[in-house]
Amino acid sequence: MSYMEIMKKVKNKQIAPVYLLYGSENYFIQKLQKEIKKQVLGKEMDNLSFYDLDETPVQEVISDVETYPFFGERKLIIATKPSFLKAKPDRTAVEHNVEILENYLSMPVDYSVLVLIAPYEKIDERKKLTKVLKKNADIAVCNPIKDYDVRKWIDNLAGQLRVFIDQDAYDIFEAELSTNLNLMENELKKMALFVGEKGTITRAVAEKLISHTASSSSLRLVDTVIDRDLAQAIAIYKDLEKMKEEPIALIGLLAFQFRTILRVKLLKLKGYSQSQMQKQLGVHPYVIKIALAREKKFTVEKLEAAMDKLAQADASMKQGTMEKDLVFQLLLYDLINE
């Protein structure tokens, strides 16, 4: 099932005896874990146990699951990293008897809830244990959302916070946060407090309050080069300095942005579609979307020249021929006046 389907069941107190939460999106896993904990235990944490399956055999976990609780009516046992569900299990000093888990799944006790957390993109569907889990457990797939689902999630979070979002504010969230749902939730909570219940988050509010990341700021620096706005470029750089970002790391971020724009432009000239570019470059679809919007503003020669300037600035910093701060500001000047 999807994350949303399992979350809906848990919130409606339809608690399963066994859960498997797998995927690489930690936001979903943590949200489900928190809600299951709330519905099973409430505020009583005496019957909560955590196990790391890299260190504890699964048969010991099942022994705890089958032991009647000393306090309260139900126990919650959370076991992480069941690598025996992967096609190639991780090497550990622990020997797991998965047959004991398989047997338990067919006859789980009614006084314990077992949650297996597998922070892996995939599990091996061919294994007997996986098939038994599919038959006897509630399974939530917790992988990152697609770029075309970002707005849906922004709307979902805004609805929970009882605020509205202007259409032109979405671009700010997408540019700054992409698909980082943890950051998105935190930023929306902050803005919801600012505008109040049933208030509207406008583009101006989003620009004023949003916390800029180093990666998103490098995109903004590229925009200042496009707009030939040196003052704004220096202002963004100073903000990044306050975030303790090193100039040499910022050159790396800028180089990534310009290199991506160049590669996207070259692939576009060869007739590649957006999805083909994404597969070829192995980056997030949103990165391709942004690069396609920017490549129109540059010729191939201008982009190659920008890459040369970035390489020269990188060499100057590493050789220590000039102060890093000065090198970076001169780099911005050269890029904008190219």
pLDDT in tens, 279-316: 888 876 767 888 898 899 889 999 999 999 999 999 99
pLDDT at 208: 82
Q: Which residues neighbour 263 within 8 Å (Cβ) at sequence distance 6 or greater?
A: 281, 291
**Out of 208-217, 226-235, 243-252, least confident range:** 208-217
What is the pTM (predicted TM-score) of this model?
0.65
Residues 309 and 265 in one domain: yes
pLDDT at 214: 61
Evaluate if residue 171 carries a pLDDT over 80. Answer: no
Evaluate if residue 224 carries a pLDDT over 80. Answer: yes
Q: Which residues neighbour 172 within 8 Å (Cβ) at sequence distance 6 or greater?
A: 203, 206, 207, 210
Residues 285 and 329 in one domain: yes
pLDDT over 90 percentage in the chain: 50
Record the tokens describing residue 213, joined without a space.
């990341």
Residues 261 and 171 in one domain: no
CA triplet 207, 307, 305: central angle to 5 degrees? 105
In whole angstroms, what is the distance from residue 258 CA to residue 277 CA?
Answer: 15
Residues 205 and 218 in one domain: no
CATH at residue 174 = 1.10.8.60
Residues 321 and 229 in one domain: yes
Residues 101 and 24 in one domain: yes
Read off the pLDDT band of 107 (50, 70, 90). very high
Cα-based distances in Å from 64 to 9, 61, 98, 106:
25, 5, 15, 17
Longest alpha-carbon distance in the chain: 73
Read off the pLDDT band of 172 (50, 70, 90). confident
CATH at residue 237 = 1.20.272.10
Query: Residue 130: what residue type?
Result: T
Residues 229 and 307 in one domain: yes
* Contact by Cβ (8 Å): 161, 188: yes
Last residue of a domain, one of 209, 230, 246: 209
Residues 102 and 219 in one domain: no
- Can you say whether residue 89 is alpha, beta or left, with left for phi > 0 and alpha for psi between -120 and 50 degrees? beta
pLDDT at 242: 77
Read off the pLDDT band of 252 (50, 70, 90). confident
Domain interval for residue 249:
214-336
> How many domains are there within the chain?
3
Residues 36 and 84 in one domain: yes
Residues 233 and 202 in one domain: no
Residues 181 and 227 in one domain: no
Residues 201 and 271 in one domain: no
Evaluate if residue 64 carries a pLDDT over 70. Answer: yes
CATH at residue 106 = 3.40.50.300
